């Protein structure tokens, strides 16, 4: 079993089923990566590095984007 904390919520994956990279995670969530900003364990990850940034059990990832606001 593996766990990723996604936007503050612990998400459980079966053994070896944690998405390999941020890009894979976004694909599995059905989220368009072009507008997403990611922070992995408190470190900002540039969008260009989404396909090469590997995910490991126990990490915390924040996925944010621009939303309407004043």
Binding site for other proteins (CB under 8 A): 6-8, 29-32, 35-39, 44, 46-47, 62-70
**Least distance from C-beta 26 to other proteins, angstroms?**
9
- DSSP 8-state code for residue 34: G
**How many Å separate Cα 39 from the centre of its chain?**
8
Looking at the Cβ atoms of 23 and 62, the one nearer to other proteins is 62
Looking at the Cβ atoms of 15 and 70, the one nearer to other proteins is 70
**Least distance from C-beta 15 to other proteins, angstroms?**
22
Q: How far is CA 35 from CA 10, 48, 59, 64, in A?
A: 23, 12, 22, 9
């Amino acid at each position: 079993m593996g766990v990723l904390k996604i936007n503050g919520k612990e998400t459980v994956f079966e053994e070896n089923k944690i998405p390999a990279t941020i890009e894979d995670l976004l694909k599995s969530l059905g989220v368009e990566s072009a507008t997403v900003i990611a922070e992995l364990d408190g470190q900002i990850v540039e969008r260009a590095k989404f396909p090469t940034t590997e995910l490991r059990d126990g990490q915390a990832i924040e996925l944010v984007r621009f939303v309407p606001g004043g």
